Structure 1
Amino acid sequence: MTRRARIAALTLAALAACPLAACSKAEQAAKPPAKVNPHATTLRDGFTDLDGLVRAAKEEGELTLIGVSRDRLNFGALVSRFSEEYGIDVRLAEPDASSGRQIEAAKRVKPDVFDLRLDVAVANAKHFAPYRVAAWDEIPDDLKEPGGAWYAAYGGYISIGYDSRQVHAPASFDDLLRPNAGKAVRVALPGDPRQVAAAFDGVMASALIDGWPKVRHGVEFFTELKKRHRLATPERATVLIDWDHANLTRGATAGAGTSAWKVVVPRDAVLAGYQVQAINKNAPHPAAARLWQEFLFSDTAQNLLLKGYARPVRMEAMEMHGTLDAEAAAKLPKANGEPVILTVPQTDEGRTYLRGHWTAAVG
């Protein structure tokens, strides 16, 4: 038998002893694992696919988030689901930290992922590691940094929460100045607007005129409330101007669906605000940080946020795909008017004006 004939015979024998499917699996098993780059800017470039990312994140085994509380927006369920699904321990550092505080504490706390207001994220983009999640194209352009330094995950609209036993249903901010059948209207913000972000946003929402914030108009509105003895502390208020998810939570915790607390988004003054995600440039667990981002923007996590009354950033896309939790979405108040998102210059102008005029006008 010639050498060529012997090789052909051996090849045929090997094929007979090894079915095609089995040989394919054996060859795949023999291949070296794909190279991993936990600092990559996309899933494909760094891990090939989600399975590769999961393996890398599991090897790290830990994840540290800052500014995220289990008691807010259903994050407790969100964190538990992530930890159980991937076997990664999640540490929540300074859960009540403001956006500014998160940046200040980063060197000491060493978080993997930040949860920030838009203006703070824009100002601190140099501290973040760019990463574009798989759902990147479904995030509106005005809610993400083109290179992937930061991008919004969830948000809400400024709303009017009110005790329907004491206050006629308001449709606008101006309705809070009108007669109320002899019953006391006591309006509050959730804190000092010069110090508390949600209170500042409440003033800016009242300042909207034809889609533009005129902060002087907002201060004048609260000045008029004061003149009419309608300003109060949150504890005594029958009306609270706050984010819709915060007002909805107040109603839900008042007692088994029997609460008289109702929530509306003021007509033609729809101020939207979003919390953006950013991976720490010096994240101790870069793969776990990226896995958290992929999870946070998944249908599962976005719907869990929706159950906590947040408005997921992919809400419109999920509705088109038929993956949105319709029952949870129906609990959010409807908005009449085009949502407005403050630009960084508008936010800066508003804060400057309040520092100079709020005390004299409102106290």
Structure 2
Amino acid sequence: MLRTPLRRAIAATAAATALALTLAACSGAAEAGESGGGVDAASATDVTAFGSFEALETAAKAEGALNVIALPRDWANYGEILDLFAERYPEIAINEQSPDVSSAEEIQAAKTNEGLDTAPDVFDIGLTVALQNTAQFAPYQVQTWADIPDALKEPTGLFVGDYGGYMSIGYDSSKFPAPTSLEDLLTPAYKGAVAINGDPTQAGAAFAAVGLATVQSGGTLDDFQPGIDFFGKLQKAGNLLKVDVTTATVASGETPVVFDWDYLNATHQADNPAWKVVVLDGTGYAGYYNQAINKSAPHPAAARLWQEFLYSDEVQNLWLKGGARPARMAAMTEAGTIDANLAAALPEAPAETVVPTEKQSAAAGTLLGEKWATAVQ
């Protein structure tokens, strides 16, 4: 996910640059993988390996730390989620590393720092990057596993969808008319104004913008070429703005029209009171971010406790508070544990919605790697 300093646009695929993380000595937890009581936390695939949830908590507290990466505090309410974990488990220090990097850079950080106590314990990544890096993950199934739709989870728990939304267009309504179609964005009214956040071969929101352009152009998710062609036209028209979107760029007007997830675009209303968000009529493009555990996590019990925490009723409702749609939303609605007021406040979903499959995401990632740079140069 390319996490820009504030409401950013997300991760998925390809090559990344090594992160400048401070190197430290190997930790005993990373080498042994054992938690209190002799449990091999690094090999635990569910809570029963610890004997009980309380025993998992005890093991995580004994490790004393959790390394997270690419979690901007203003992204889908992560700030409140992180603070709640810190409040609930004061014995576990949360090390918030490189909040604004991409999904691909998360994986690179794990590889660069493998065996060190600075390595990330957990990942929050786009689907394409997840599919390309399953060898980096440890399988784990949370206690609420059955509530997560099969389409959102790798069967063994290597990576699992957690929160998502719809690709949208945010715009400064004081300067631009509301776009009603992609064709509007090709007109002179949007000259040098339309941004996607990052490179779609590395950033998930940018990847999804191409997916949206594909289905809004009459194509299907089996072939992203129509979406690539649209952005090629946007570039030729002089309307594509190659600037990463941040709070500052929106507040200053540098990025006045932005493709991004609806829950992230909505947060820019705090940066610009004239900022509005539209989900185009017709076929909508939805996507989820995925949670995964680093197979070489220096704090393997804390990593698993973090997963349990994220998929609890309380935190699933906190995603909802951030404007995102939690993975367990349907099951929680049926059980009566969803926050009904927050659910009712979500934007209306498009009549027709598409979500890329693993196969489609992988194929699109390959195509983008081959065609994107040439199309927008």
TM-score tier by shorter-chain length is 0.7 to 0.9
Aligned to 2:28: none
Partner residue of 1:244?
Answer: 262
CA contact (8 A) 1:40 1:46 kept: yes
Bigger radius of gyration, 1 or 2? Answer: 1
In structure 2, C-alpha distance between the alignment counterparts of 1:111 and 1:186, rounded to whole Å = 36
Contact 1:211-1:269 within 8 A present in 2 as well: no
Specify the alignment match of 2:285 in structure 1.
271
The one-letter amino acid paired with 2:197 is P
* Count of matched residue pairs: 324
Deviates more, 1:325-334 or 1:288-297: 325-334
Change (3 A) 1:147 1:348: closer
**Unaligned 5+ runs, structure 1:** 1-32
Provide Cα deviations, 1:130-150, integer angstroms capped at 9, x if missing partner. 211011011111211111221
Cα pair distance change 1:356/1:34, threshold 3 Å: closer
Match in the other structure for 1:95: 99
1:142-166 Cα distance to aligned partner (Å, 9 max, x none): 2111112211111222111123334
Question: 1:352 deviation in Å?
Answer: 4.5
How many angstroms does 1:270 deviate by? Answer: 1.8
| Contact preservation (8 Å) 2:59, 2:302 | yes
2:125 corresponds to: 116
User: What amino acid is the match of 1:133?
Assistant: V
| In structure 2, distance between residues paired with 1:68 and 1:140 | 24
Match of 1:59 among 62, 66, 75: 62
1:316-361 deviation digits (Å, cap 9, x = unpaired): 2222222223333344322213432223443344344445544554
Matched, 1:350 2:364: yes
- SS of 1:212's equivalent in the other structure is coil
Corresponding position: 1:169 with 2:183: no
Equivalent residue for 1:77, pick from 77, 80, 86: 80
Whole-Å Cα distance in 2 between the matches of residues 147 and 251 of structure 1?
A: 39
Deviation of 1:174 after TM superposition, in Å, equals 3.8
Work out the CA distance in 1 between the residues paired with 2:188 and 2:172: 16
Structure 1 match to 2:226: 217
Relative to 1, partners in 2 of residues 1:344 and 1:164: Cα closer, same or farther, differing over 3 Å?
same
Task: After superposition, give the CA deviation of every residue in 1:2-61 in whole Å (9 maximum; x if it has no partner).
Answer: xxxxxxxxxxxxxxxxxxxxxxxxxxxxxxx99855332222x22333222222222222
1:143 to 131, 134, 152: 152
More relative contact order in 1 or in 2 (CA 8 Å, sep 6+)?
A: 2
Task: Return closer, same or farther for 1:330/1:228 CA change in 2, 3 Å cut-off.
Answer: farther
CA separation of 1:280/1:236 partners in 2, compared to 1, >3 Å: closer, same or farther? closer
Q: 1:60 to 1:267 in 2, by over 3 A?
A: same
Question: Structure 2 CA distance, aligned partners of 1:146 and 1:292?
Answer: 20
Structure 1 counterpart of 2:262, which letter?
Answer: D
Q: Show CA shifts across 1:251-308 (max 9, x none).
A: 1333xxxx22121222233222222111122222222111111110011111222222
Shift of 1:213: 5.1
Contact 2:199–2:206 (8 Å) recurs in 1: yes
3-state SS of paired residue (1:103): helix
Contact conserved, 2:191 with 2:237, CA < 8 A, in 1? Answer: no
Q: Which range moves more in the overlay, 330-339 or 122-131?
A: 330-339
Match of 1:332 in 2: 346
Q: Cα–Cα, structure 1 residues 282 and 249, in superposed 2: closer, same or farther, change >3 Å?
A: same
Separation of aligned partners in 2, 1:339 and 1:231: 26
Residue type of the partner of 1:146? P
Residue 190 of structure 1, CA deviation: 2.3
TM-score of the superposition, structure 2-length normalised?
Answer: 0.75
Q: Closer, same or farther in 2 for the Cα pair 1:136/1:172, shift >3 Å? A: farther
Aligned AA (1:139): I
Once residues 120 and 255 of structure 2 are traced to their aligned partners in structure 1, the CA distance between those partners, rounded to angstroms, is 37
> Any conservation in 2 of the 1:264–1:334 contact (CA below 8 Å)?
no
The answer for unaligned runs of 5 or more in structure 2 is 1-35, 244-252
Kindly, what percent of the aligned residue pairs are identical?
47
**One-letter amino acid matched to 2:93:** D
Q: TM-score, normalised by structure 1?
A: 0.78
Show the counterpart of 1:26: none
CA change 1:128–1:62 in 2 (3 A) is same
